[in-house]
Each structure stands twice: as structure tokens, then as C-alpha cells.
Chains A and B, each alone.
Chain A
């Protein structure tokens, strides 16, 4: 299984990311041990020089992870015919115990890298490296996450065997199943969409106010996470069936397929962007105590605006899909 070309590409990408972050983590330890910005010694100048490399490298990793996440989902969908019982990405992911954990790990790494880069950008705007220690401590958390993600992905691909009998989205998201998938699918669509709408209103409101204070920005971050979770739930419970015009088809991956005009992308891209920006804004507020007020406020504003824009686009697309559908789930 491991020799399928997209899998080779994904494994190569994870390997490069892990390698690059391993080097960065080693540097992080050196920096935290000997950082002294007031010094003009060659050692300090050398450390400052390497920080440029680390920033470039983590930005590169973020782009790779984003591409890798999309490729992973697309490939899972494309590989479905190889597994008995699989008709879309869900089946492929289910063909191994490591499938879904690998996907979740990739999502976590994406958000973590996004947040790190946001903190890095803001730190670059300070005159006194206000966030450098926090940043490199954060790197010591990001690196193991990337290793874990690579390991889970590798375990998944090594474990995949073509003759595995797996269950597809119909079974995983069947309303009668007692697990999470089933719970989500059997959630009342009205409730799901209502909760999502409420969370979106809260997130957008907090986003517009986030620039005013750190506390509000932290709340905004939490609201963004809540929106992410509720959005996924609503997609499974309500939005996906509307797209398929089929009350019992709840799969969150099939909306990425060509026959549905890839609308899944129009939903997931703004959602991921908004969530990333919201989380980054919240984390920045938490760690940015030493920032000058104007720098902090400007950073919060930028991130909050991105989050608000993303949430609004997501809401618009979701609403359009529901209204445009020939199905009626909610009286």
C-alpha cells in the first residue's frame, strides 16, 4: 500500500517537515539557553541570524501541511475503490485504526503552525524581541506535534491493506450507530444549525470587539474553536444531507467530490482559515503580555478581521447550500 504515488508524496512531505522541525527544535534549546538581545557578541548575532531561518522554515512547513491536508483527504477519496465497502474518503480512513487519528493530527498541526507563525510575525514587529522566548518554547511544542503527525500518518499507510473490509460513510454516519458518528448524524438538523448560527454570531461579535482587549481576544479564540466543532457537527447533521438532497447521507467528505462541484472546499477553506486566525488571536492575547499596546492591538485587529471574514463567508456558503437545496429537513 505504501507505494501508491500520492502516499509517497505525503510521506515525503511529512518526512521533510519532521526533519526541518527537528533542527529548529535543537536551535530552540540553544536560543533559550543563551539569548541576550542587549549583547553585541558574535554568539548573539549568530542566534539572531538563525531566527530568520526558523521563521522561513516554519512558514514553509505551514504551506506544506496545508497542501498535505488537502491531498490527504483527496487521496483518501480516490483510494476508496481499493477497499471493500468503501465508497468515499471515510471508508479509506476507516480501513485502519490510524486513519482518523492521522487526519485529526494533521488538522491540529495546521492550526498550531498557523498560530506559531502569527506570533512570529508579531514578534518581528517589536523592538525588543518581546515574544522570542514564548515563541521558541512554542516551537518545542510544535516539533513533537509534527513528529506525532508524521508517525500517525506513516502508521496509517503501513497498516492499509487492500483486502480490508471497511465501512463507508453510510455505516459510519448512520443514524442508528451508538458512536460519535452516529450521534452527530442523528442530531436534529434544526438544533445543529441553530447552535452553529448562535456560535457564529458570538464568534463574529467577539471578533469585531477583539481588538479592544486581551480578554475579548481570548474569548474570540475559544469561540472560534467552538464554531469549528459545531460547524463539523452541523455539516454532518444537516448541511451535507442538504447538499446531497438525501436525508440519510451524512458524509462530510463526499461534498468534496466532483459530482457535488467540490462545494466542500468552499465550506472548509474559509472555516479553516477563520478558525486558524481565531486561535492565533486568542493565543497571542494569552502570551502577549509584554507587547506594546499598539502592536498588540494592531495584530489582534488583523487576525480578528481574517477570522470574521472567514466565518461570514462560511455562513454565507452554508446558508446558500441549505436554501438552494431541493431537500427540506426542517419544517
Chain B
């Protein structure tokens, strides 16, 4: 047992020395390896961080949103609908909501206009006031105190004074938001009183969401009920999908890298071949040489992985993944700018390892074996 451990120790030591003796050759490969880890790691860390942000933000919204539907398209809800839901058991609060989309040619972007719900005191606006998201503020160069002018498709005009700009912490979902007072909203979109865009339902016990949604659907058969977990799932799936697609595209790079590793491991210099021949001649078995060479590969992998992961982490959390933002965030005009909470996850690391280290080790197996199988008498011929 001890001999087996000592043997491994000696072979590992030899591997370290071997790498140290040829710094130039190994440094090049390690740099490319680290780059691959960096690219894949950045994509994964960024995707995971965004998904976490989205989940965290959604967690503070209502559990169910009820929307009226006619012939599969969205319809306005009425006061009567809201009243019908009031008697439901397990419901903490029923809140009709007013919101809609507006295309703004001045900023060349779509905004979401919304009346802040009565329960949201922090974002209350008075008539003639507006609170805007940071994307809107950027597009129209707004700051608290400045005037915001909007024109509806029907030609209605709305003039508001910006009261505040929403913080970038919620930017993922609020970037394009414009919060206005209810009468301003109704006048702008020409809406009579008693109609609402949808109804937000807050449920007392989160486990009862499904049951409440079912009961509500019985009361309002013409409505559809979107639960928070539906939204979370969609967001999660969307970000995952985008992340995965990017990775699939990067797969080409990983494959190229594996081929490079194979080639490097196969193309030993005459000096290296001589060395292995000597080792075989003086008493090393094929499996000893394989072990030493795989240790070398493992050390290179370890170094490249460490460097790549650290660089990816810094890239994502300190530079907001500047290289990949467009693909991962989506193709809206108003990219939100917001800091991501730095986190590291065992599952992500393991996945990253399997996408980078595994192909490398697999690629060098055959070349390592081939060189280790050199005839021991080759040095004498």
C-alpha cells in the first residue's frame, strides 16, 4: 500500500519537474486551455447569475395574474370580474392593475406604462408626475426634475415631470418602465373607469397557488391565470436556453481545442521521445509512463481551470460580462445595466469541468498511450 502511494508520489514529482523543464511548450497550450475555460465559464456564470436575479425579483410579485381572454387574445378585465374574485378562500389580496405598451419614436424603444398598485406606497406618483426605469432615463436623457413628453398612437399627449429614476437593482424587469398616475393613464390611453389590464392575486399559502388558480378559473372561465411559478419557469427556461445555445456554439471551439491537445500530445519532439525511450529502457513500465504523462495533463488542466475560472468570475462580476451581454440579455433596445450578485456554485463548476477538462483528458489519452508504448529497446537501435 505504502509502495503504491510512494510510487504515485514519485511519478507526480517527476511530472511536475517535466513540466518545469519545458515551460514554453506547455505555457502556450495552458493559455489556450485557460481561454476556453474562461469563455465557457463566463457564459455559464453569467447565465446562472441572471437566472438567479430573475427568480429573486419574481419572488416579490403576486402569485397569480388573471387576464381576460377573447378568442385567444388579451381583453380588459372589468370591475365585475374583480368583484367575482373577492370571495375566494386563501386569497390575501386582489388588486386590479393598469399597464400597457407604448412605442416611443423619440427614444426608438418600447416602454411599459404602468399605474403603481395602491399597495406599493414607495412608488406612488401624483397627477403630472412619472417615475421612470433607468433604460428610459438613458434613452430620453432624463433625471429627476426633467420633463417627459409622450404621444399615444391615437395622438393623445402626456406631459409629466420625472419624480425619480428606478434603481438599477431591479433593472432586469423595470428598465423600460414608466409609472404614472391613474387618471393620467386613462386619459392617455382613452380608457373609461372600471376597466383594468389584469388582476393581481396574492395568495396566503404559496402551496395553495394551484388550488386557488383552479377555483378562480371556475369563477372566471373567460380569464387565464398565470402563476408566478409559470413565469419563473419561463424565465428560467429562456435564460437556460440562451446560455445553452451559446455554449453549443462554443462547442466548435472546444472541439478545436481538443484536436489541438491531441496534436500537441502526439507531436512529441525528438528529445521527448528519447526521454521516454530511456525511461522504458531503464525499467519503467508502460503504465508508469502513462501515469506520469496523465499527471502532467492533470496539472495543466488544474492550472488552466483555475486561471480560467478566476478570470471568468472577474469578467462576469466586475465587468458585467461585457463580451457576451448582447446574446445573453436579449435583443431589446433598452439593455438594463445592473450589477450581478457574485456567487459560485458546485453544480456550475462541475459542469464547467466536464465541458472543458474532460474533452482535454480524453483527447490526450491515445497520444499519451502511444508514446508510452515505445519499445524499451528503441534507444539502442
A residues whose Cβ falls under 8 Å from a Cβ of B:
2-10, 12-13, 16, 20, 49, 52-53, 55-57, 60, 64, 67-68, 70-71, 74-75, 78, 81-84, 162-163
Question: Which A-chain residue is minimally distant from B242 (CB atoms)?
Answer: A3
Q: Which 10 interchain pairs have the tightest Cβ spacing?
A: A3-B244, A9-B354, A53-B369, A9-B351, A162-B237, A49-B373, A6-B351, A4-B240, A52-B286, A16-B362
CB distance from A212 to the nearest CB of B (A): 22
A13 touches B358 (CB 8 A): yes
Starting from the known contacts A5-B355, A9-B354, 8 additional A-B residue pairs (CB-CB under 8 Å) come to A3-B243, A4-B240, A4-B243, A5-B240, A12-B358, A13-B358, A75-B347, A83-B233
Chain A minimum-CB-distance residue to B368: A56
**22 interchain pairs, CB-CB under 8 A:** A2-B244, A3-B247, A5-B243, A8-B244, A8-B251, A8-B351, A9-B350, A12-B358, A16-B358, A16-B359, A20-B362, A52-B286, A52-B290, A52-B369, A55-B287, A56-B294, A60-B361, A71-B347, A71-B350, A74-B346, A82-B233, A163-B233
Shortest Cβ gap from A120 to chain B (Å): 11
Write the residues of chain B forming the contact surface with A, with a CB cutoff of 8 angstroms.
43-44, 47, 55, 229-230, 232-234, 236-237, 240-241, 243-245, 247-248, 251, 286-287, 290, 294, 346-348, 350-351, 354-355, 358-359, 361-362, 365-366, 369, 372-373
Question: Is B365's CB under 8 angstroms from A57's CB?
Answer: yes
Which B residues are CB-close (under 8 A) to A56?
287, 290, 294, 365, 369
- Report how far A12 CA is from B355 CA in the complex, Å: 7
A53–B368 alpha-carbon span in the complex (Å):
9
Contact B362 A60 (CB under 8 A): yes
Nearest CB of B to A42, in Å: 10
Across the interface, which residues of B come within 8 angstroms of A2, CB to CB?
Answer: 244
Q: Is the interface of A mostly helix, strand, loop or mixed?
A: helix
Which of A56, A71, A74, A78 has the most CB atoms of chain B within a 10 A radius of its CB?
A56
Contact A5 B47 (CB under 8 A): yes
Residue of B nearest to A163 (CB): B233
A64–B365 Cα distance when bound, in Å, is 14
Cα separation A57 to B362 with both chains bound (whole Å): 9
A84 to B361, CA, bound (A): 39
A2 to B244, CA, bound (A): 8
CA–CA, A207 to B373, complex, Å? 38
Residues of B within 8 A of A68 (CB): 354
Chain B residues whose CB sits within 8 angstroms of the CB of A9 once the complex forms: 350-351, 354-355
Residues of A near B44 (CB, < 8 A) are 5
For B238, give the chain A residue with the smallest CB separation.
A162
Cβ–Cβ contact A8 & B248, under 8 A: yes
> Is A162's CB under 8 angstroms from B362's CB?
no
**B54 CB to nearest A CB, Å:** 11
Do A82 and B236 have beta carbons less than 8 Å apart? yes
In the complex, A82→B243 CA distance in Å?
15
Query: Considering only CB atoms, which chain B residue lies closest to A74 in the complex?
Result: B347
The reply to whether A60 and B347 contact each other, CB–CB distance below 8 Å, is: no
Min Cβ gap A123→B in Å is: 13
Q: How far is the CA of A239 from the CA of B362 in the complex (A)?
A: 39
Instruction: Please tell me which one of the listed residues A10, A49, A71, A81 contacts residue B232 in the complex, with CB atoms under 8 A apart.
Output: A81
Q: How far is the CB of B341 from chain A (nearest CB, A)?
A: 17
What's the Cα separation between A275 and B5 when bound, in Å?
A: 25
Contact for B237 among A5, A7, A49, A82, CB less than 8 A: A82
The answer for the CA separation of A61 and B347 in the assembled complex, in Å, is: 20
Tell me, rounded to whole Å, the shortest Cβ–Cβ distance linking B107 to chain A. 33
Q: What residues on B are CB-neighbors of A8 within 8 Å? A: 244, 247-248, 251, 351, 355
A248, chain B: closest CB distance, angstroms: 14
Cα A41 to Cα B361 with chains together (Å): 32
Residue numbers in A under 8 Å from B245 (CB-CB) = 3
B residues within 8 A CB of A5?
43-44, 47, 240, 243-244, 247, 348, 351, 355
Contact A67-B365, Cβ < 8 Å, known A5-B240, A16-B359: no
Chain A contacts of B373 at CB under 8 A?
49, 52-53
The answer to whether B369 and A67 have CB atoms under 8 Å apart is no
Residues of B within 8 A of A3 (CB): 240-241, 243-245, 247-248
State the CA gap A3–B238 with chains docked (Å).
Answer: 10
Q: Say whether B287 contacts A52, CB under 8 Å.
A: yes
Interface contact A60-B232, CB-CB below 8 Å: no
Nearest CB of A to B366, in Å:
7
Among B251, B290, B362, residue most surrounded by chain A Cβ atoms (within 10 Å): B362
Across-interface contacts of A75 in B (CB, < 8 A) = 347, 351
Q: Are the C-beta atoms of A4 and B350 separated by less than 8 Å? A: no
State the Cβ distance, B362 to closest chain A Cβ, in Å.
5
Greatest chain A CB density within 10 A among B47, B348, B358 is at B358
Chain B minimum-CB-distance residue to A85? B210
Cα separation A8 to B241 with both chains bound (whole Å): 11
Smallest CB gap from A53: residue in B: B369
Q: Which residues of A contact B365 (CB under 8 A)?
A: 20, 53, 56-57, 60
Given A8-B244, A12-B354, are A52 and B362 neighbors across the interface (CB < 8 Å)?
no
Given A3-B244, A52-B369, A56-B369, decide whether A81 and B236 contact each other with a Cβ distance below 8 A: yes
Neighbouring B residues of A67 by C-beta, 8 Å: 350, 354
Query: What is the bound-complex CA distance between A196 and B361, given in angstroms?
Result: 40
B224–chain A nearest beta-carbon distance, Å: 14
Bound-complex Cα distance A82 to B240 (A): 10
Min distance, Cβ A249 to any Cβ of chain B, angstroms: 13
Q: From B245, which residue of chain A is reached at the shortest CB distance?
A: A3
Complex Cα distance, B347 from A20, in Å, reads 25
Residue of A nearest to B1 (CB): A302
Complex: A16 Cα to B262 Cα, angstroms: 14
Pick from B229, B350, B366 the residue with the most CB of A within 10 Å. B350
Name the residue on B nearest A2 (C-beta). Answer: B244
